[in-house]
Chain A
Amino acid sequence: MLSVQNIEKYYGNKNNVTKALNRISFDVEPGEFLAIMGASGSGKTTLLNCISTIDTISSGQILLDGINIADLSESELAKFRRERLGFVFQDFNLLDTLTIEENIGLALSLNHSDANKVQQQVQEIAQKLGIADILEKFPYQVSGGQKQRAACARAMIAGQSLLLADEPTGALDSKASKNLLEIMTAINQDLDATILMVTHDAYSASYAKRVLFLKDGKVFSKLMRGNRPRSVFYHEILDVLATLGGDISDVI
């Protein structure tokens, strides 16, 4: 479904070039739950921004369902984002002035969906994510975990095919994190959503089916979960992180 081919991303001017992404290639299959790990500055957020069409790449190509996103115009990109991609951010990125229901419904509103059905659709998804009772509230009135679930609901309500999550548990406590990751797993398994999650937290990554490790803008290592239990997979991830060295060990 997603094919990243030899992408490179440079920052800076002629004299001082920083390579944020260095010849990265990988594929994501439909229905997959992929985690990308790496220390701060390893290029994982840059990679996610490039895939989400918020940032541009210097060379290589990114194909989503066979479409090269570099070929799309500004307004086509906007359309592509609102129809195909769902976003979950570390700091929730809900609008303070909108209620939870409106924040979720916003995605449909932007897609010019039938306005009469918005409320019903929001209700349905909120039921699934267990936030139906807080729909009337404003973001500052609910907990971080609830906010992040609302963000998940917004990311999938318009039928987006790829959910991009940037450190979704970064601002949550361990209980809320676990809850959110279980919900994401359920979305992945029951609703067949494809998820690409960037994280530096081994515990979060252990919920994925496959983990890519980035170091200095390159793919350093890969790990498949297969049929192993999550706890085993978690330890394997920790082992890879240990070999990855550097500052990543400071953050886990």
Chain B
Amino acid sequence: MTLFKLSLRNAKRQASDYLIYFVTIVLAAALLYSFNGLVFSEELQTLASSMSQLPFMIWLASAVVVCVFGWLVSYSIKFMLLRRSRELGNYLLIGLENRQIARLFFLENLAVGGCALVLGILLGSLLYQAFRAIILTLFGLPYHFSFGFSFSAVGLSIIYFALIYLFALRKSRKRIRKMKIYDLIYFDKQNEGVVIQTEKKRQKIFAFSIVLGVVGTLMLITRNLLWGTIGAGCLILFLYGFFLSFASGVPAFFNRKPSRKYRGQNLLIFRTLTAKLATMGVLMATISMIFTATLISEGSGLVFKGLFQGRSMQQTCFDLYIGINDKQQDFNLYLDYINANIPMELSLLYPVYSNKNAQVMEYIDSTIVYYTYGYDKDPLMRYSDYAALREIAGYPAAELKQGQYLIHCISYLEEPLKNYTEPIIVDGKTLTLSSVHTEHFFQNYVAGNGRGYILVVPDDAINECLIHHQAYAAKTIYPVSQEQFAALNAINQSEDRVASFDIVSSKANIEAELASMTTITVFPLYYLALALTMTAATILTIQQLSESQHYRRQFQLLQKLGMDQREMRKALRTQFTIYYTMPAIPPVLIGIPFLLTLAKAPEPGVMVGANSPAAITVMALGIFFLIYAIYILMAYTSLKRNVLPETIE
């Protein structure tokens, strides 16, 4: 049999023995290809002006993803080499040269990688269609399935894959060339020793790493780049210190308390987990680090999405809104263009007034964190304008009786303002609060309908109050097109208006911006998160599954020694739970405070409802554990099937 045939046969075996690894490599190729598809898609990049940044963001993410997959492949190949050391030792024993074995191994992995790439590209083109559908839906455009290959995307995927594999295979070639028969044949019999020998040192490292973990997390949530980077460094030290000292501490603990060791199934579970102590400690720490990064990227993706959504919601209540800060400027330039070019269903040009006092603002300042900058007095609006604006926005009418006023505010301010019982004084008249409304009302700009809140008073209440600014809101017959929006912006930016800081906002434009911002930030972050989770879960799983031979022998022996099936299942389950839970604990402890503070960073009132910090944290954890659970489930079913001996008839 030629070496080539042997390589092919080994490749086939590798693909089935390490099925999860193979599946992950296929998925990796699919991910790379589908995101490369986004990079080269002209259709998507012309959807909005900011979408041209998408390729750059994806390249950035791809660089990290290629490194991560490179590590996965390199680790897995090294791992398989070790696992198969006896087989490789036999090749050496029958007279093959190291050089030949290296070639054998190279060909074998090339075959596996090549197959994975082809399957991955096929799968990836479907995945790309899914991404396209999501993005088009975000832009509110119809999606039509159109299958097609992008040759540039295929080319780039091949380059990425070559980088991933060549790096890993170069390392393995070096390793194989240095191998000795004895080491190979006796490799898998040996247990690894304790890494940190002395008790005192271990305790010191353990305590120090816990401190580093807490300090690192605190630094991370300062949201300062320098502190955050130092914090991340502390956390990495914490994870390695923690897992290595912890892993070394377990045998010491049981040696001090032998009776604990022999209780129940402790002996089996603890010995199985600590057999490869050093490898296990480093592995757990690395996996934990990856999980932390995953959780943070997933959570950040959600925070960004929530932020864009929260900010834009306020602005999408009117098809067109223009606010002029400078009272000296007139509206005619805008109105001339609008009347000539944009067909209207309803429209209104109205003033926003300033009261002579700031009693509501002072109340808000005293009860909740909110910055009403741009105003030093409470903003006011006439009821007739308010009623017309509600109609333009498509909201039901709101009633207001004489002697009363109502508040329209963002939902964040609803609770405190509902409890505001003081009457207000407008131009000497006393008005009492009738109701509080919280529909989106363009209230997050100085030139909006108040900043955060506005007081709506009967028309005749306003006599001497000054105009704060003028605004224009309209319901158009057709959505405002990109050209129309650009023309209005051009008026805004024309030379004689530079100092006025007008706001021109169209619903259609905001929605397109939202869609493209979501796409260019959330897609790359999720791409990263997905690649990281897949890599970590795969490495944990192949490590676990490759032990199945060993476990099978162990359970066969235990069956002979009289352990019954129920107990074996229980032992396997416990072992499995510990193995998969350990690396997930630190990321959860670091991720939760980080995400909670990150989601609180935007101005108050934006991250609410489904985008509230708590909801985002729960969602990020949910997505993370969902992907993790799929791998755990696959690993457990496969392990249970392979490991537990069949019952005796």
Taking beta carbons and an 8 Å cutoff, which residues of A are in contact with B?
52-56, 74-75, 77-83, 85, 87, 93, 95-98, 102, 105-113, 115-116, 118-119, 138-140, 154
Contacts and interface: CB of A to CB of B under 8 A. Distances in A.
Contact of A82 (B186, B260, B554, B563): B563
Contacts of A96: 189, 191, 275, 550
A108 B564 CA distance: 14
B558 A81 contact: no
16 contacts: A52-B560, A55-B648, A75-B564, A75-B566, A79-B564, A82-B561, A93-B560, A96-B550, A102-B261, A108-B262, A109-B265, A109-B267, A110-B558, A110-B562, A118-B262, A139-B189
B648 A74 contact: yes
A105 B267 contact: yes
B262 A78 contact: no
- Sorted nearest first, the 5 A-B pairs with minimum C-beta distance are A82-B562, A81-B562, A78-B564, A97-B275, A118-B262
B200 interface: no
Contacts of A113: 262
B333 interface: no
A78 B559 contact: yes
A123 to B, nearest CB: 11
B263 interface: yes
A85 B557 contact: no
A98 B268 CA distance: 8
Interface string B238-273: 000000000000000000001111111101100110
A165 to B, nearest CB: 13
B560 A115 contact: no
B190 interface: yes
Contacts of B258: 118-119
A156 B295 CA distance: 52
Contacts of B272: 97
Q: Which of B190, B191, B649 has the most CB of A within 10 A?
A: B191
Which of B191, B560, B562, B565 gathers the greatest number of chain A CB atoms within 10 Å? Answer: B562
B85 to A, nearest CB: 14
Contacts of A111: 562
Contact of A107 (B260, B554, B561, B648): B561
A115 to B, nearest CB: 4
A106 B564 CA distance: 14
A106 B560 contact: no
B371 to A, nearest CB: 62
A74 B272 CA distance: 26
B184 to A, nearest CB: 15
A116 B271 CA distance: 19
Contacts of B561: 81-82, 87, 106-107, 110, 154
A87 B560 contact: yes
A140 B190 contact: yes
A6 B263 CA distance: 42
Contacts of A139: 189
A74 B647 CA distance: 7
A248 to B, nearest CB: 27
Given A77-B648, A115-B262, A140-B191, 8 more contacts: A52-B560, A74-B565, A97-B274, A102-B271, A109-B263, A110-B561, A112-B264, A116-B259
A139 B558 CA distance: 17
Interface in B521-564: 550, 554, 557-564
A115 B189 contact: no
B355 to A, nearest CB: 78
Given A95-B557, A108-B262, A118-B258, A83 B271 contact: no
Interface in B179-205: 186, 189-191
Contacts of B648: 53-56, 74, 77
A171 to B, nearest CB: 14
A112 B189 CA distance: 29
Contacts of A110: 558, 561-563
B557 A97 contact: no
Given A96-B191, A102-B271, A138-B191, A118 B562 contact: no
Nearest to A56: B649
Contacts of B563: 78, 82, 110
Contacts of A119: 258-259, 262
A93 B259 CA distance: 24
A56 B557 CA distance: 17
A74 B267 contact: no
A116 B649 CA distance: 36
B556 to A, nearest CB: 9
A87 B559 CA distance: 11
Given A74-B648, A95-B557, A85 B262 contact: no
Contacts of A54: 559-560, 648
Nearest to A111: B562
Interface in B93-122: none
Nearest to B558: A110
A96 to B, nearest CB: 6
A79 B272 CA distance: 24
Given A77-B648, A79-B562, A110-B562, A118 B271 contact: no
A157 to B, nearest CB: 11
A112 B265 CA distance: 9
Contacts of B259: 115-116, 118-119
A20 B186 CA distance: 36
Most buried by A among B191, B262, B263: B262
Nearest to A94: B557
A52 B271 CA distance: 27
Nearest to B566: A75
A232 to B, nearest CB: 36
Nearest to B568: A78
A112 B190 CA distance: 29
A98 B562 contact: no
Given A74-B565, A115-B262, A93 B557 contact: yes
A119 B254 CA distance: 12
B564 A102 contact: no
A159 to B, nearest CB: 13
B267 A83 contact: no
Contacts of A55: 648
Interface in B313-369: none
Contacts of A93: 557, 560
Given A81-B561, A102-B271, A95 B554 contact: yes
B566 to A, nearest CB: 7
B562 A83 contact: yes
A24 to B, nearest CB: 20
A79 B562 CA distance: 6
Contacts of B265: 109
A138 to B, nearest CB: 6
Contacts of B260: 115
A98 B271 contact: yes
Question: Which among B263, B265, B566 has the greatest number of chain A C-beta atoms within 10 A?
Answer: B263
B265 to A, nearest CB: 8
Nearest to B258: A119
B549 to A, nearest CB: 12
A88 B475 CA distance: 89
User: Counting chain B CB atoms within 10 Å of each CB, which of A80, A112, A113 scores highest?
Assistant: A112
Contacts of A108: 262
Given A74-B648, A105-B267, A80 B562 contact: yes
Nearest to A139: B189
Contacts of B564: 74-75, 78-79
